[in-house]
Each structure stands twice: as C-alpha cells, then as structure tokens.
A and B are shown apart, each in its own frame.
Chain A
C-alpha cells in the first residue's frame, strides 16, 4: 500500500492559543483512520487544516506526493482532491438534491452535464435516495441529507474523504443509515479520515484509531489495541466515560 497523505509536524495556533501541537500522521491508500477525543481537543480543526479551511502555522501536508500546506494558489485545485462532509450537512437549500450533487462536477471540473447527472443518479440510488432527486433539502430528514452530502463529496472522486462528526446531529436510527454508507465505502477501499464519537462504529470501520487530547496525538493504534489495551491513562479515562457499569 502506498502512502497517500502525510502530515508532518503540523501546528495550528490562534494568536497565543495552540490548538494543534506537532501532529504527525501517515495515511495509506485505502486506509480508514478514525480520530477520537474530547470536545475541543482539535479533531475538527485538524480535518479543516487538511483541506485549507484553516491555515497552519507550522508543518507540512503532503497529498499524493505533493506538498499542499502553504500554497494559496493551488488550494482550490487541491480541495477537489479532498472531499469533506460536515456535521450540519450544509446542503445548498435553494437547489434540488440532484443539483446539489452535480454543482461541483459541472462548475469546478467543467464536466458534461448529462454524464454527471447519470453518475449522480447512480450514486443516489446506491444510498437509497434516487426518489428524492427532485426534492429540496428541507424536505429530507437529517439522515437523508447527510447521505446526500456524502454523495456530493464522492462525485468529485476525492483521493481522501474527511468526515467531521457526520452523525452528531442525528437520532440513533439515522446514525445507522449514514454509518452503513460509510462502512460500505470503507469496504470498497476509500481512504477516509473520520472524526466521530461513535465508538462502536470506530471499532468496526477503522484500520487505525488516533486519540487526540489538548491538540496532541496521545495514542494511536489498531482498533483492538486501542479499545482492549489502551496504554495511556488519559485514553483509559476517556474510554471509561463510554461505559455506565458502576
């Protein structure tokens, strides 16, 4: 497996507040990396740094052999290669589901409209939402909207897909329908970085789990090492909060 994304000594500061401190990470093609940690630890900021929604103060981000960390000119081009799905879906409310999905390929990649629409319909069918293609986002449930958001990112054929707490605003049944989609993407070999609080899901989907606290990677490992043999006290304490056995 070849390395697709490499992060070296990444630091992010807001004035004198250090949000991310010397983060190193290597992601291979087809690998699923799950990032967990308490709220405010910098998980989301880390994902946002990767596609340039936040600037970084130190370090390098190398995507597919290309250093993308500081180049404002190529930023837009590189974003095509990094898909991102957000907690609040952020579908475009004034566009139909089909138009939401086809906007970027048509505008950004200048692809043929008919061709893109065929592809979009196939992807919508895959996530069970073909019948919603002419609806507007407000007519869909949260879980449906999030599946559309995933399709909207997928159709750009990104090399890496970033999922930022995509189930945090959903009820348990909707969480399941969205995570099923993510699981199937993992099985077909998509490279993904996933920030989540769903520990069961993390265990099922991850090749590697990293635990961030206070802007640093505290521990990383395979799911079984991570959950069954946590090495640091901080991670042990964090994992205990998910059980209610007194």
Chain B
C-alpha cells in the first residue's frame, strides 16, 4: 500500500464523504417525516388514506433501492419531470426509508397496551393529552432501537447512489480503481470513510437508547 497514493486520493474521498453524508441525512429526515405520517395514518385507521399508506409501505419495502432510483432518475424524465442525481438520491432514500420508519413507529404505537389509554381516560385526560403524555413517549422509547437500526441501514444504502452517477464514496472508489488500478488503497479508504461515517451514529444511537429506555425498561 502506497501512502502517497492514499494522501493524493484523500481530498476526493473527503468531497465524496461530505456529499454522501449530506444526501444520506436529507434522505433520512424525509424518511422520518414520511414514516411518522404513514404510521399515524395506519395506527389511527384514517379512512381512505389507510389503504394508500399500507400500499406505499408494501411497495417500497419490497423493492430494491436501485430499482426505485432508476424509476425516479430515468423514468420521471419520460413524463417530463427531470430531477438531478442529488435530488433523486435523497428522495429515493427518503421513500425507501419512509416505509421502514413507518413500520418502526407503528410497532411502537401498537405496543402500548390499551389499558394505558383506559387508565389515562379514566383520570379525565383528553384524547390529545392522552396521546402526548402517555402514548407517544412510550411508543418512542419502544421504537428507538429499530429507528437507530434504520438510520444506519439507510446510510449504508447510499452506496447504491453510484448507479445514478452521484459522486458518493462508492462511486469515487470505483472510478479511481477504474482509472488507476490502485485497488487496495481505494478499498481501504472506502472502508475507513464508511466507518468514520457510521460509528458516531452507532454510538449516538446507543446513548439515545439509554436515555429513552431507562425509565421504562431500566437498561
């Protein structure tokens, strides 16, 4: 392994890293927003919207991100909507992640026993007070581990972006290998940058789990 090669590639990797983090996190924020809306729609049996929400979850959870990206990137222009690779990446990740997040949030909401609602109602709490003070905090602490797992999964899924020529980490590594054949250096840098991107998320996730789960579960 040649240190000179490593250092000469470093700026390109940093650039790719920043882009990957940016698109990744925008996608995750979209995913969380979609997830919350879809989970509420299903949990509260909203008429008309519920079957649509369920169909969305099944469609996006059961198709690969690559296929979804192709539809957005190459399909939409056919009906006159052109999107940049960055927007396509963020939206695609958001739509895929939304279906996963929706199921995580919903499992938390569904896991709070009905008796919790009843005892809160018996105390005279309104539906909104009951939801805000009793159901939501419990649902969130139940959902936290799977939400953190989804975030890590989605950040890794960004590696698919290279298929739509987004200059992310994977694309940069493949590109450099193709041009100069310094396979070892390129792959080592690739692994290092993914670890730099994900380990802090993993640690933060553990801290968040401790904070939200201690009260209810003591761990």
Contacts and interface: CB of A to CB of B under 8 A. Distances in A.
30 contacts: A53-B122, A79-B123, A79-B124, A82-B122, A83-B123, A84-B119, A90-B115, A90-B118, A90-B119, A92-B120, A92-B134, A92-B138, A93-B138, A93-B216, A94-B137, A94-B141, A95-B215, A103-B123, A103-B125, A103-B133, A104-B125, A107-B125, A107-B129, A108-B125, A108-B129, A136-B215, A138-B216, A138-B217, A139-B218, A156-B124
Interface residues of A, number: 29
B210 to A, nearest CB: 14
Contacts of B113: 90
B45 interface: no
A136 B119 contact: no
Interface string B129-171: 1000110011001000000000000000000000000000000
A108 B215 contact: no
B207 interface: no
A80 interface: yes
A93 B140 CA distance: 13
B188 interface: no
B183 to A, nearest CB: 51
B7 interface: no
Nearest to A84: B122
A9 interface: no
B126 interface: yes
A77 interface: yes
Interface of B: 113, 115-116, 118-126, 129, 133-134, 137-138, 141, 215-218
Contact of A86 (B119, B129, B138, B218): B119
B59 to A, nearest CB: 34
Contact of A104 (B115, B124, B138, B217): B124
A88 interface: yes
Given A93-B215, A107-B133, A51 B115 contact: no
A152 interface: yes
B161 to A, nearest CB: 39
A90 B123 CA distance: 12
Given A86-B115, A103-B133, A107-B129, A94 B215 contact: yes
